[in-house]
């Protein structure tokens, strides 16, 4: 089996439709299930069919099932998890591993040292560790891991660090290199270089521009703007796909005429998209 990555979700932490929102994109998604977008997540299917789920989102059950289907498996439980950080859309799905739901048994879960400390120090997450439902494995940025024929390289990303640090991932398979950065405050030069050298990159596209949420201070939820990223990330060897889109992003507008055009080499990722590694 050829290793591959599967896009399991492309929405910002609140998903699409977004709670309490009656904008065009959210209203349309409630009316048409095909327009629903799950919270940003990535799956990896390795050489022998083992599966890795990157981030445990509120959409965990559906994403775990989609990952199993992609690997041709009936049991919708991943072989391992990897958590990038402790913001709402990236770890709340751990609740599904508790005894009220899946009641997992020793599920390997790769986390940084700060994420490890956060989970052990805060309930209900500490219950998962104490009851042996997850087995925390140390993820060290700069130290590669092998997952069933795919080399995983975690690297630190500048992003709001209220509780934990944030990591991006570089997946190196026999055929391609994929960079995944769902959340960032900015794209510093070393990260731009990493994205430029990848065969494909999935990057933070939360907001298209600064005026999307006039009632919110976007500096408090800082993300790169797509309108700026297309200039900064242009010129790389592979395609760049935007993920983690907020419901306000005009790239999700129901009417095609209302969606901003993206230059060649850039696109909007979609749930179910597959990249060979």
Distance CA 29, CA 18 (A): 9
- pLDDT of residue 212 exceeding 80, the answer is no
Gap between the Cα atoms of 76 and 85, Å rounded: 23
Residues 6+ apart with CB under 8 A from 70: 4, 6, 43, 45, 51, 274
Q: Give pLDDT, residue 219.
A: 59
pLDDT at 177: 97
- Rg over CA atoms, the chain: 18
- Asked whether residue 189 carries a pLDDT value surpassing 80, the answer given is yes
Separation in Å, CA 145 to CA 109, 182, 222, 269: 13, 20, 30, 26
Q: What percent of the chain has pLDDT over 70?
A: 97
Average pLDDT, the chain: 93
Specify the pLDDT at position 221.
64
pLDDT tens track for 125-163: 999 999 999 999 999 999 999 999 999 999 999 888 888
DSSP string, 102-141: T--SSEEEEE-HHHHHHHHHSTTHHHHHHTTSEEEEE--T
Q: Average pLDDT in the 96-113 region? A: 95
The kind and range of the H/E element at 167 are: strand 167-172
Section 94-106 average pLDDT:
94
CB 112 within 8 A of CB 143: no
SS3 state at 62: helix
What global pTM score does this model have? 0.95
Percent of the chain with pLDDT over 90: 82
- Domains of the chain are 4-276 (3.60.15.10)
* 235-247 pLDDT, tens digit each: 999 999 999 999 9
Residue 173: pLDDT above 70?
A: yes
Q: What is the mean pLDDT of residues 100-104?
A: 92
Q: CA–CA separation, 212 vs 150, rounded Å?
A: 38
Q: How far apart are CA 46 and CA 276, in angstroms?
A: 11
Q: How many CB atoms lie within 10 A of CB 80?
A: 20
Is 116 a residue whose pLDDT tops 70? yes
Question: 66-89 pLDDT, tens per residue?
Answer: 999 999 998 889 999 999 999 999
Looking at residue 257, its pLDDT comes to 75
């Amino acid at each position: 089996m050829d290793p591959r990555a599967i896009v399991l979700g492309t929405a910002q932490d609140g998903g699409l439709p977004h709670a309490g929102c009656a904008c065009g994109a959210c209203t349309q998604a409630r009316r048409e299930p095909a327009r629903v977008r799950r919270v940003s997540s990535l799956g990896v299917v390795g050489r022998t069919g083992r599966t890795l789920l990157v981030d445990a989102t509120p959409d965990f059950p559906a994403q775990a099932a989609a990952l199993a289907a992609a690997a041709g498996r009936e049991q919708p439980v991943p072989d391992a998890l990897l958590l990038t950080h402790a913001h709402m859309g990236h770890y709340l799905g751990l609740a599904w591993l508790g005894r009220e739901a899946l009641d997992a048994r020793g599920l390997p879960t790769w986390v940084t040292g700060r994420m490890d400390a956060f989970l052990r120090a805060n309930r209900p997450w500490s219950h998962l560790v104490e009851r042996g439902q997850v087995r925390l494995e140390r993820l060290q940025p700069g130290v590669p891991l092998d997952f069933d024929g795919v080399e995983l390289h975690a690297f630190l990303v500048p992003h709001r660090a209220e509780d934990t640090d944030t990591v991006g991932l570089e997946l190196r398979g026999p055929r391609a290199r994929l960079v995944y950065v769902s959340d960032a405050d900015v794209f510093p030069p070393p990260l731009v270089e990493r994205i430029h050298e990848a065969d494909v990159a999935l990057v933070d596209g939360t907001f298209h521009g600064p005026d999307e949420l006039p009632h919110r201070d976007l500096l408090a939820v800082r993300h790169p703007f797509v309108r700026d990223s297309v200039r900064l990330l242009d010129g790389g060897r592979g395609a760049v796909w935007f993920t983690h889109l907020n419901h306000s992003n005009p790239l999700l507008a129901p009417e095609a005429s209302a969606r901003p055009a993206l230059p060649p080499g850039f696109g909007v990722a979609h749930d179910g998209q597959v990249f060979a590694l």
